[in-house]
Structure 1
Amino acid sequence: MKSKKENKDFNRVQADLKANGFREKDVIIPSGKAMVLGIVYALPFVITLGLLYRFLLIERAHLSEVGGLSFYIMFIAIIAISVVIHELLHGIGWAISSGKGWKVVRFNINAMMPSCACKVALKKKSYLTGVLAPFVILGLGSILFVFVYPGTVSLLTLMVNFIAAGADLLIAVNVLREGNCLIADHPTEAGYIAFYKSSNV
């Protein structure tokens, strides 16, 4: 049901743009590749900040015992809260940058995980605002958290938020390589569709 609704939203956008002389270019990233490359894109931030934590903050860190039920409950809670806020920030970014509010944003639950997509094609800058909102806001927030309260909780929060933003960085790098176009979320795959006015795609 949800995939039909997603395709219907995209088909409407696609038809409107084609009627106005746009041609489309699909940029699909296989899920496995997106996961691996997302981690690669996130690693420089995780490693750099991890080293700063190790050499500057470890002396005053609030450390928790690694392992045991309480640790795993804490870790799962960090992931769950971070993912929800991550997807909400995507939506807020697109709602604001599009100038059209929440009506352009779609929230879904897939495999018990929340996700967010933009239902309209946006200019590159507006699209990137939504894509990078979690990286910027949660990233800066995590760095501030780990410096104010260094320890197991803040370090795990930092790692989760930057790794979760890795795929967003991958998408953003690809979008920045595009020319003058509109960008729409791909309705069923990881990636996006670039709509070009000219025939040079």
Structure 2
Amino acid sequence: MSSKESLSTVEKILQAAEELFAERGFDGTSVNLIAEKADVNKAMIYYHFKDKNDLINSMFERILREAEHYLKRAFAAHSDSGIEVSHLDRIEEELNFLSKRKRIISVMMMEALKGDEKDNYFFKCAERVFKHELKGFKSESGEIEENSSDRQRDLVYEFFTGFVPIIAFVVFNEKWCDYFKCDSDKAMEYFLESFRKTHLASNF
């Protein structure tokens, strides 16, 4: 099997799993269902992934890499262009990026609510965002200072007033607009305005 064919098979499996996990949840999705939806032999899934946990971990690792790549590129473009981009514009770009990956983010959020999850990718994703946001608490290596006296306070603030509202808006926006009969563009406008008055107003 060529690497191109292998990649295509992996992508089909991951896409099918992502759809099923979003619809049925992780526990409600069997490997048989994934194989059926991906139109592959069940053995092919076990060829590429050790088990269902390995499969979902691969999905989460991929979204973390995508998010980290996007953040690095966004910050680099901001630094190199010399054009001042507002924090609100950056948040809107992040929302647009995350909206394209809404299904996997929804799964990540659902899995984060489980008490028995060993690798909480929802928190890992937040941590990677914090490494870009909490610049004042970074060491020379680029890591967030673990022993900073203000670190815990700022992590709580960034997570519960910044990261969680953004993720919640991405996950619930479409259904919220349907239920409350709100135009999606207006919902984005209102969210950004409220975010500016709360989270950004306290930070900048």
| Same fold flag (TM > 0.5) | no
Higher relative contact order (CA 8 A, sep 6+): 1
TM-score normalised by L of structure 2: 0.29
Q: Write 1 or 2 for the structure with the bigger share of helix.
A: 2
Q: TM-score, normalised by structure 1?
A: 0.29
